[in-house]
Every structure is written in C-alpha cells, then in structure tokens.
Amino acid sequence: MGYETIASPVNLGGLVLKNRIIFAPTSFGLPEERLLERLRRIAAGGCAMIIVGDVPAGRSPFGSLYSARGFARYRRLCEAVHREGCLICAQLHQSDSDLAGMVRYLPGVLTKRYSMDQLRELLNQRVGPYISSLPAEKVAGITASFGSAAVLAAKAGFDMVQVHGDRMCGSFASPLFNRRQDRYGASVVNRARFAVEAVTSIRRSMPDMPIDFKLAVRQEEPHYGNAGMLVEELPVLIPLLEQAGVTSFHVALADHSRLSDTIPPANHPYFSSQGCFLRYADEVRSLTRLPVCGVGGLTDPDFVEEQLKSGRIDCAAMSRQLLADPDWPRKVTEGNTDAVRQCVRCNRDCLGGIQRHEGVHCVFDREQV
C-alpha cells in the first residue's frame, strides 16, 4: 500500500504541515532536560507538528509562560523541535482543580492513603462546586488570560496554539459540573461561553495565529465522558467556535472520567478499535469545513492512510504510537512499514508511568536496556 496521503502537506489555518502526522498533546511528568530530549527525539522521527500538552493559560505555581524561567524553558523546547524540521503548538489549558481544596488531601497523598485514581476522583467531586461558584468577573479574567498566553507562546516560538476544550472549558460546558444560572450556565450557548471567550481573546490578541480547538465530546447510552459537550450539542458549539476564530478541530472523548477511557487500552470494552474516537470526528466533519484532526488508537499505517485518503480526517494525531516508535512517520513515508514498532495499547509504562510518578515511558524502552 502507498502512503501518499500521510506524506502529503496540509494547511491548518495558514500554517503548512509537511505531512499529516501530529504528536498529540501528552504530559510527560519528566524533568526539563529529559522532556526536551524526548520531544526532540519525537520531532526527529518525522512528524509534522508536536502539540505540547497542558501549557497553563494563566500564571501557575508549577511554571508557566509568564515567568522568566518558564518562558525560557518553552523557548528551548521550541528551538529544539524546530531544529528537527518540525512545527510546535502550545496546548493552552486552565485547570479546574480547586487548589485551596486540594490542600486538604495532601496528607492522604503523602501517606499514600489515597491512590492517584482516588485523588483524581476526590478532585473531580470538587470541580462542580468550584466552577459553579467562581465570580463571573473572575471567569472573564481567566478567559482573557488565553489571549495573553498566546502572545507569549508566539514570542517563545510556538507556531500555533490549541485551546484545551477539556479541563475548565470542559467543565463549564457540561451540566454535570456547571450548575450556574448566570451568563456562563444553563443553556448550551451559555455553557459554551467560556470556550468562546477564550478563543475570542486569542483571536483579538493574535489576529493571524492558527487556533486549534481540542473538542472534548461526551455521549450517553452508554455514558462516556463527563466534561465537554454531548454529541447532540455540537451543532450549537461548533459554529460559535468558528465565528470566534478557531481554524481547525482536534476531536477526542471528553475527560473527567476514567483515564483508561480517554487513553483506552486494546481490551477496552467500548473503545478498543483502531481510530476509536473517529465516530466523534465524523460528527464534527458534518458540521464544519475546517480541517479535522482525529486521535485515539491510530497505530496501523494502512488504517491511518485510508482515513486520510477518504477525507474522513485531515490529520492523524498520535500519542502512544509515537511514544512506542517516534520514527513511525519517517518509516511509513519511506515505505518501511515492516520496521514500525506498533504500540500495543497496553498502557503499562506510558499512562502507568504517570500514575506511578515515574514519568512517561514505553514497555519497548525496557527491551532496549
């Protein structure tokens, strides 16, 4: 099989990608030097763009674009990725964890009374009350910070920004968390306002910057995903985001549920197949003419080529596959598919590494040691 479509360029909001493969946003939990080397290595494997996961839109005690040290760190990342001929995008996100509320769980975490999954569940329980009681002026200040962060991201060298439609965008979008009765709550238009204001703020600050939006989609029957918008609500959300200035969409299952749903293993009861979230991308495709990027269980070169060639998606984003084999794009575009080390979607050392506080790795790395 030929892989001409994978190897062909694509235009995202005026930015030309050399091929269709994007490294999906991935938090590594690694120290600076090791993160830099991992992203450089992924860039060297031939993907067209790396999306750096979870870049804070506001000031953050964990480092952000606003501090001299944080800015310098992102600048080095951008330079390292660019040197390998790869573009780089900042995933701007706003956490919806109630930091003050988190403090009460610290002793339990330090004494290992709570596992990471339990802590996540406890934090999720606080999201609704937290975002439902944030004063409206404070919310407007948070959405405005996306514009300031985009200006800094461009200065640091990022080629594009992605608004993370999950986290605070996602919890505002979902009535499972958002109980507000003001302009940020109740109707779909009001629940979409956080995301729309964040995008508008970026567009005002950076008139020419490509803006990708990570659409967090949830569904009922069966119930999957808690934050984000229901598939049935997308016809309202997508035109609003387009009018605000979004230039492409990246479509995945909404979060605030089990991580093994958003990063599904091969034995997942519902999302076990290749391209497991593409059903949501199909919905988005039917509602917009903007480029749509698919993600989720994309590992097989023939399958990926077929989805791109048929026009089902315009780009294919991969997290775990490029952790397992950063050279997937180069090997596939050179027709050397036999040499590809295909991710088996076991989640043992990537998601497992994060959960064990060891940072993201891959079972295949162990074989090389």
Ligand X SMILES: Cc1cc2nc3c(=O)[nH]c(=O)nc-3n(C[C@H](O)[C@H](O)[C@H](O)COP(=O)(O)O)c2cc1C
Q: Which residues are catalytic?
A: 167
x/- binding map, residues 21-60, to ligand X, per CB under 6 A? ---xxxx-------------------------xx------
- List alpha helices for 187-313, DSSP H: 188-205, 234-244, 259-262, 278-285, 301-309
Q: How far apart are CA 332 and CA 34, in angstroms?
A: 26
Smallest separation, CB 62 to ligand X (Å): 13
Copy the structure tokens of residue 149: 């962060």
Sole binder of ligand X in the list 180, 191, 320, 330 (CB under 6 A):
320
Interaction of residue 315 with ligand X, rule CB under 6 A: no
Sole binder of ligand X in the list 319, 328, 330, 340 (CB under 6 A):
319
- Positions in the binding site for ligand SF4 (CB under 6 A): 320, 323-324, 343-350, 362-364
Applying the rule CB under 6 A, the residues between 260 and 279 that interact with ligand X are: 262-263
Cβ within 8 Å of residue 30, ≥6 positions away? 38, 359, 360
Closest CA to 276 of 285, 267, 286: 267
Interaction of residue 144 with ligand X, rule CB under 6 A: no
Smallest separation, CB 349 to ligand SF4 (Å): 4
Looking at the Cβ atoms of 63 and 265, the one nearer to ligand SF4 is 265
x/- binding map, residues 278-307, to ligand X, per CB under 6 A? -----------------xxxx---------
Strands 10-12 and 15-17: antiparallel
Q: Is 14 exposed, middle or buried (0-12, 13-18, 19+ CB in 10 A)?
A: exposed
Four-residue CA torsion sign, 23, 28, 33, 34: negative
Interaction of residue 95 with ligand X, rule CB under 6 A: no
**Region label for 163, one of left (φ > 0), alpha (ψ between -120 and 50) or beta (otherwise):** beta
Applying CB under 6 A, what is the total number of residues that bind ligand X? 24
Instruction: List interacting residues with ligand X (CB under 6 A).
Output: 24-27, 53-54, 91, 164, 214, 252, 262-263, 295-298, 318-321, 350-351, 354, 360
